[in-house]
Structure 1
Amino acid sequence: MFTDKQIHNATAMRHTLHQYPELKYEETQTARRVADRLRSLGYRVTEGIATTGILAELDTGREGPVIAFRADMDALPIREANTFGHRSKHEGLMHACGHDGHTATLLLAAEAIMERRDQLCGHLKLIFQPAEEGGNGAEAMVKAGVLENPEVEAVFGYHNRPGFPEGQLFVKPGPAMGGNDTYKVTIEGASGHAAMPHLAVDPIYVGASLVQQLQGLVARHKSPLESGVITVASFHAGDAANVIPGSAELLVNIRSDRPSSREALTGKLEQVTKGVCDAHGARFRLEHIHQVPPLANDPEWSDRVLALASEYEVSDDIQKLDYMPTMGAEDFAFYLQKVPGCFFFVGNGNSAYLHNEHYDFNDRILPVAGGMFVALACSLLAHR
């Protein structure tokens, strides 16, 4: 499906992207490289979408479906510990989730698809989005209209997965990745002397009680047949050993696998917080500071992806999972809320895990992931 030269060039591009990581909504240099490459291949390119996003389009001029493929471009604020030649040159920034590989994958596929344009009909959109890491870049791209004019009928993307066999292509129909809701809880008590707690309202005690009570939502309000977890990731209060502080701040992170589990956990958060605070005479403020919906693959498109992976011999190891491979969130879910499609996975082998200072994308999986995109384009846009 790809020549050795194409794979070599895609690997070189991946290494270049890895050396020059950029944070969410700051991917200017990355976007410039991507746009230049796409123009050289013959795509119609629109830059600056949702700040730094790119939309590349192939209009075959023949009637047919409209489909979209997506890659993410942003990096993370992590100091890289690797020592190989393509390690990050931007100190304190790192492609620790493989977005450099995802971008290089879609550029590799874009080249092979353009070579086959005479065999295709319809319209292909390639979405290179910013800010997947906590910036809801997909939501911003959707709001900017990348799924419209013409209206996209199916959308596809992927993520590499450390801990799964190298090159294994797998799909989880239905709920496939967790939703992510983050709340800031501010508890207002009454400060006082550590030796006289009865004259104060201790927000640390109230907050500790809340931490315990929140686990009851997972154990007793969410169905045991659904997935979800609540983590209190931050708890800040006080700075002196002999003073009960007046307030405390908690960051509560809630993961869920579908709308019903999300509602069971987020829907009662305010009620539980109010009950705990009322019981001890404290007040509270609840701020919803970040939200990504659960990612749910369309079952029919999931089966179609698996069938095409086999038909086009994309991988020697193709699997249909009956369990969620991760509760990690992925803002590709915003595309799937608007358009049916499938987010597939490719095993990265026995590498360090995502968001780790020793992680690196496995270049050997580029032809597998890129091949899946080419197979989708060749089948769904086949000129008959």
Structure 2
Amino acid sequence: MYADEVLSFSKSLSEELKNLRRDFHQYPELSFKEFETARKIAIYMKELGCEVEENVGKTGVVALLKGAYDGPTIAIRADIDALPVKEMTGLPYASKNEGVMHACGHDIHTTCALGAAKILTSLKDELRGSVKFIFQPAEEINLGAKAMIEEGVLENPDVSMIFGLHNNPEIPAGKVGVKEGPLMAAVDSTFITVTGKGGHAAYPHRVIDPIVCASSIVMNLQTIVSRNVDPQKAAVISFGSISGGMANNVIPDEVKLLGTVRTFDEDLRDSIENWMKRTVENTASSLGCQVELNYRRDLPALINHPEATKIAMKAAREIFGEDGIVVPIPSMGGEDFALYQKKVPGCYFWLGVGNPDIDAVHPWHSPHFKADEESLPLGAALLALTALIACGSNESCNTK
């Protein structure tokens, strides 16, 4: 195996990777607006000698590294967009784009993929097959993977297997979370409109109150998880927005509810949609209101493929050691990497970036989010070695 060579070369890139990451961090861009980010990525990959295609899925970049020998095409995916969050870390390289921040660490993912590309380029003469680097926009709004897939990112050449990583501040730097099966939940959105008959709040008997009805709907829907779902299965029904009315003494005609549903099991996902429809309609009917429910399926669950996970686990053991591997607890958060896995086998893993000594303990999407940058060469090495193993390049090799 060539794990030692890969890890040694990756560690020699530590300062370069840190500088890359800090540059991306200072100039974050929102979904489908990652123009400067994409430009920098394209320049870097072209300088490595890769075939580069820009403006894929609007602002994505695809780079192809061809090996010296015939073999499969393995994809490495990194998301590149930031969030509409005002950074409050106080770091010297904090965001310079007001109100925009890499609060989910996509700058880390991009940097690790660029580092993996540089490592693999040094091994080009010994590489079997090709590695396709997918730098994807708009993960935060669940649209980037869909856009790139529709534009053929998994074709020409056809991708045999795909890998990706996400930083995780709950896992200590120096460790990685890898597991087969469900890792992140399916994401569904719910849009409910409750219509009543508005009027003066002092005379509730003369109106049909959609606020009371909407409140009852929210509470009744909570019984689906507590009383319909098998306690051994995971599910979440939450509402993030309720809006209706403009004054304290006026009952409105209409109330709108916006919510989300998270599941891992596809059959349970189907059942919850049906249970929600029944509950919403019956609650509204009992209170004399009209109701409309729009249930939208945004993303499937992220399910790591057995063979792809076996490869990722093998690489993780080489880079992190047996003690550096943790079995992650599946997250109810979603990831559009799952859409690639619907097309080709894939594995997604969590790179530990947590370190309380530098306050790298805050969750994704926090304005205080930080990461231990010592994880960067480890992430790059893991992606590179995973691709090498997946390509079947199993003989010892030397970096150039």
Across the aligned residues of Structure 1 and Structure 2, the Cα RMSD in angstroms comes to 1.6
Does the Cα contact within 8 Å between 1:96 and 1:359 map onto a contact in 2? yes
Q: Residue 185 of structure 1 contacts residue 250 of structure 1 at CA under 8 Å; is this kept in 2?
A: yes
Name 2:337's counterpart in structure 1: 332
Q: Does the CA-based 8 Å contact 2:241-2:259 persist in structure 1? A: yes
Partner of 2:277: 270
- CA gap of 1:134–1:295, structure 2 versus 1, over 3 A, is same
Corresponding residue for residue 260 of structure 1 = 267
**1:318 corresponds to 2:324:** yes
Query: Are 2:101 and 1:101 equivalent residues in the alignment?
Result: no
**Match of residue 375, structure 1, among 360, 364, 385:** 385
Distance 1:170 1:135 in 2: 23
Give 1:172 deviation, angstroms. Answer: 2.3
Once residues 230 and 30 of structure 2 are traced to their aligned partners in structure 1, the CA distance between those partners, rounded to angstroms, is 37
Question: Quick check: 1:284 aligned with 2:291?
Answer: yes
**Aligned-partner Cα distance in 1 for 2:329–2:17:** 32
Alignment-derived partner of residue 347 in structure 1:
352
1:204 maps to a residue whose letter is I
Cα deviation for residue 318 of structure 1 reads 3.3
Pair 1:364 & 2:374 matched: yes
Unaligned runs of 5+ in 2: 1-6, 396-400
Instruction: For 1:341, give the aligned amino acid.
Output: G
Q: Distance in 1 between matches of 2:148 and 2:254?
A: 38
Helix, strand or coil at the partner of 1:338: coil
Q: What is the correspondence of 1:50-61 to structure 2 with a 5 Å cutoff?
A: 50-60=57-67
* d(CA) in 2 for partners of 1:317, 1:146: 36
For 1:171-210, list aligned pairs within 5 A: 171-210=178-217
Q: Deviations over 1:175-229 (max 9, x none)?
A: 1011111112111110022122122110110001101111121122222221111
| Contact kept in structure 2, 1:7 and 1:108, CA below 8 Å | no
Find the aligned partners of 1:309 and 1:240 in 2 and give their Cα distance. 58
Report whether the alignment pairs 1:15 with 2:10.
Answer: no
Q: Deviations over 1:80-123 (max 9, x none)?
A: 01222110000100000000010000000100000001111112
Query: SS state of the match for residue 342, structure 2?
Result: helix
Relative to 1, partners in 2 of residues 1:382 and 1:174: Cα closer, same or farther, differing over 3 Å?
closer
Task: Please name the residue that 1:26 is paired with.
Answer: 33
1:234 aligns with 2:234: no
- The within-5 A match list for 1:146-165 is 146-165=153-172
**1:3 Cα offset (Å):** 5.2
Farther-moved stretch of structure 1 (162-171 vs 13-22) = 162-171
Q: 2:67, 2:173 → 1: CA distance? A: 35
The whole-number CA distance in structure 1 between the counterparts of 2:336 and 2:200 is: 46
Q: Give the Cα–Cα distance (whole angstroms) in 2 for the partners of residues 274 and 3 of structure 1.
A: 58
C-alpha contact (below 8 Å) 1:167/1:317 kept by paired residues: no
- 1:80–1:316 CA distance, 2 compared to 1 (3 A): farther
- The residue aligned with 1:128 is 135
Partner Cα separation in structure 2 for residue 289 and residue 26 of structure 1: 25
The answer to whether structure 1 residue 247 and structure 2 residue 254 are counterparts is yes
CA distance in 2: counterparts of 1:249 and 1:313, whole angstroms: 50
The normalised TM-score by structure 2 is 0.92
Counterpart of 2:73?
66
Using the size of structure 1 for normalisation, the TM-score is: 0.95
C-alpha deviation, 1:284, in angstroms: 1.8
**Equivalent residues, number:** 382
Which stretch shows the higher mean deviation, 96-105 or 158-167?
A: 158-167
CA distance in 2, matches of 1:46, 1:260: 39
Between the aligned partners of 2:173 and 2:13, the Cα distance in structure 1 is 20
Q: Which structure 1 segments of 5+ residues have no match? A: none
SS of the aligned residue for 2:116 comes to: helix
Aligned equivalents of 1:336 and 1:194: distance in 2? Answer: 52
Q: 1:3 to 1:247 in 2, by over 3 A?
A: closer
